């Protein structure tokens, strides 16, 4: 990999609405390029070759700038793909990003690392990932009936205090307890 290949990839990404296909090792190759340029610049500096050092540092700066642009464009395209539910031409970490976006869009709980790996297998095969409409969200809306001091969830995160009449969103685990104690009412906000 070099600056020329990065420039060509940037041009392909800019000229198409589709993700340009990448080798699965693309991001690792870029990291290797960055390490090599830094090493060469350091080596040139130690030898007293200031012009050569500046050339390597300039090349490193250009490579990092090109990569940031490539990532920015690819992320925009990945977000669009997630809304369509159609993974295509994704590599490595991009599959994980796609999986997280799908969970976020479908108002699911964000998957744990192990779940992401399972969902990645669907993404790798190119399967369309669909979640049934009306699947309950992790957070739900509640109308508070009585004044409630601060409450803690099972992970010791703090919520509140709440006043009677407040409309709040809470994790289901807390909301369930409040409803059982007649301190809150579940509000259905689905269309």
Mean pLDDT of the chain: 82
Domain boundaries, position 176: 139-187
- Residue 51 counted as domain residue: yes
Same domain as 58, residue 35: yes
Same domain as 157, residue 103: no
Low pLDDT (below 70) residues in the chain: 109-139, 189-191
Same domain as 114, residue 61: yes
pLDDT in tens, 105-150: 877 766 555 444 544 554 455 544 443 334 444 568 899 999 999 9
Same domain as 117, residue 34: yes
Q: What is the pLDDT of residue 131?
A: 39
Q: What is the pLDDT of residue 110?
A: 61
Q: Quote the number of domains for the chain.
A: 2
Same domain as 75, residue 161: no
Same domain as 55, residue 98: yes
Q: What is the pLDDT of residue 111?
A: 56
Same domain as 94, residue 23: yes
Distance CA 190, CA 162 (A): 23
Domain end, chosen from 125, 151, 178, is at 125
Domain end, chosen from 103, 125, 147, is at 125
Q: What is the pLDDT of residue 1?
A: 84
């Amino acid at each position: 990999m070099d600056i020329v290949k990065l420039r060509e990839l940037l041009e392909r990404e800019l000229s198409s609405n589709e993700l340009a296909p990448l080798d699965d090792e693309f991001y690792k190759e870029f990291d290797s390029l960055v390490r090599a340029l830094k090493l060469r610049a350091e080596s040139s500096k130690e030898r007293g070759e200031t012009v050569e050092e500046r050339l390597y540092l300039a090349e490193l700066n250009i490579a990092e700038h090109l990569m940031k642009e490539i990532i920015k464009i690819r992320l925009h395209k990945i977000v669009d793909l997630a809304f369509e539910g159609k993974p295509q031409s994704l590599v490595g970490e991009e599959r994980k990003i796609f999986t997280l976006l799908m969970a976020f869009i479908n108002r699911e709980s964000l998957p744990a690392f192990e779940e992401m790996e399972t969902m990645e297998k669907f993404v790798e095969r190119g399967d369309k990932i669909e979640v049934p409409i009306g699947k309950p969200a992790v957070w739900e809306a509640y109308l508070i009936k009585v004044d409630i001091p601060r409450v803690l969830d099972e992970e010791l995160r703090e919520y509140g205090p709440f006043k009677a009449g407040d409309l709040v969103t809470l994790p289901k685990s807390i909301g369930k307890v409040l409803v059982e104690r007649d301190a809150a009412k579940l509000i259905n906000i689905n269309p």
